[in-house]
Amino acid sequence: MGYELVLLAAGQGRRMKASKNKILLHLLGKPVIEYALTTFVNDADCQHIVLVVEKKEKELIEAVLAQNEFAGKVPITVVIGGKERQDSVYNGLQHLKKQTGVVLIHDGARPFLEANLIKKLYQKARQINATIVGVPVKDTIKKVVEGKVDQTIPREELWQIQTPQAFQISFIQEVHERARQEGFFGTDDASLVEHYGHTVEVTEGSYMNIKLTTPDDLVIGEAILKMKERGN
């Protein structure tokens, strides 16, 4: 049956301090967005990709697609994103080809996800409404108020949540529609599901599945890619 994918590439990337969208920055000679696209188009379960982009960058993204012939492997629909991440996901969900089955939602700024993680997440998502990936927090986390420690939060209870996040299509469409009507915004799609009282299951991911957010992350990202190249 396979899954559909909403791949987000419309972020502003202000913290990257770059002159262009971070998904168009190059890592070892390739645009960041190309890495995630390559992983998904080579996954036999991926049936359709909705690529959500900034209006002003649509032609640049389409040029990347044309140069790499991604569209020849998996159908790709390019749509325009919204003001916030949640708006972009909403726009992407409107362009899915099916109303049943599974949709994965992934940040294009996470270029290092691996095929085995996608497969594990998809198999779990076929059985439940909502499942996400994450990793246990390694560091001690403290709540700080006005420069002073207010509380040390038990590390055993904390996970760093990543993407992809996977949902039954009709379920997440309904959740997004309700949040839109009520003006509720969450920092990820799972937070909308939680807000309305539904269960979200967690699948353990990988510490290498980082999101490129600041300039330091580009250095780490190149190191990850070089390590993978040596491994291959």
Under the banding of pLDDT at 50, 70 and 90, the label for residue 97 is confident
> CATH code at 218?
3.90.550.10
Q: Is 125 part of a structural domain of the chain?
A: yes
Distances (CA, A) of 10 to 43, 90, 128, 154: 23, 13, 28, 35
Q: Is the dihedral of CA 116, 171, 134, 82 positive or negative?
A: positive
Q: How far is 78 from 96, CA to CA, in rounded Å? A: 11
Q: What is the pLDDT of residue 165?
A: 98
Measured torsion, CA atoms of residues 70, 75, 79, 83, in degrees rounded to the nearest 10: -80
Higher pLDDT, 64 or 89: 89
Domain count of the fold of the chain? 1
For the purposes of burial, counting CB atoms within 10 Å of the CB of 32, is it exposed (0-12), middle (13-18) or buried (19 or more)? buried
Q: Is 149 part of a structural domain of the chain?
A: no
Q: Say whether pLDDT at 159 is over 80.
A: yes
Q: What is the pLDDT of residue 14?
A: 65
Strand intervals (E) in the chain: 3-9, 26-27, 30-31, 46-53, 76-80, 102-107, 130-136, 141-145, 148-153, 159-168, 201-204
Render pLDDT for 15-24 as a digit per residue (tens, 0 to 9).
665 667 888 8
pTM equals 0.94
Q: Is 199 part of a structural domain of the chain?
A: yes
Q: Is 139 part of a structural domain of the chain?
A: no
Q: Is 91 part of a structural domain of the chain?
A: yes
Domain that holds residue 169: 3-133+161-231
**Residue burial 65-104, b: 16+ Cβ < 10 Å; e: rest:** beebebeebbebbbbebeeebbbbbbbbbeebeeeebbbb
Q: Is 21 part of a structural domain of the chain?
A: yes
Render pLDDT for 180-199 as a digit per residue (tens, 0 to 9).
999 999 999 999 999 999 99
Q: Say whether pLDDT at 99 is over 90.
A: no
Q: How far is 201 from 199, CA to CA, in rounded Å? A: 7
**Residue burial 149-183, b: 16+ Cβ < 10 Å; e: rest:** eeeeeeeeeeeebbbbbbbbbeebbebbeebeeee
Share of the chain above pLDDT 70, in %: 95
**Cα 106 → chain centroid:** 2
Q: Is 180 part of a structural domain of the chain?
A: yes
Under the banding of pLDDT at 50, 70 and 90, the label for residue 119 is very high
Q: Is 175 part of a structural domain of the chain?
A: yes
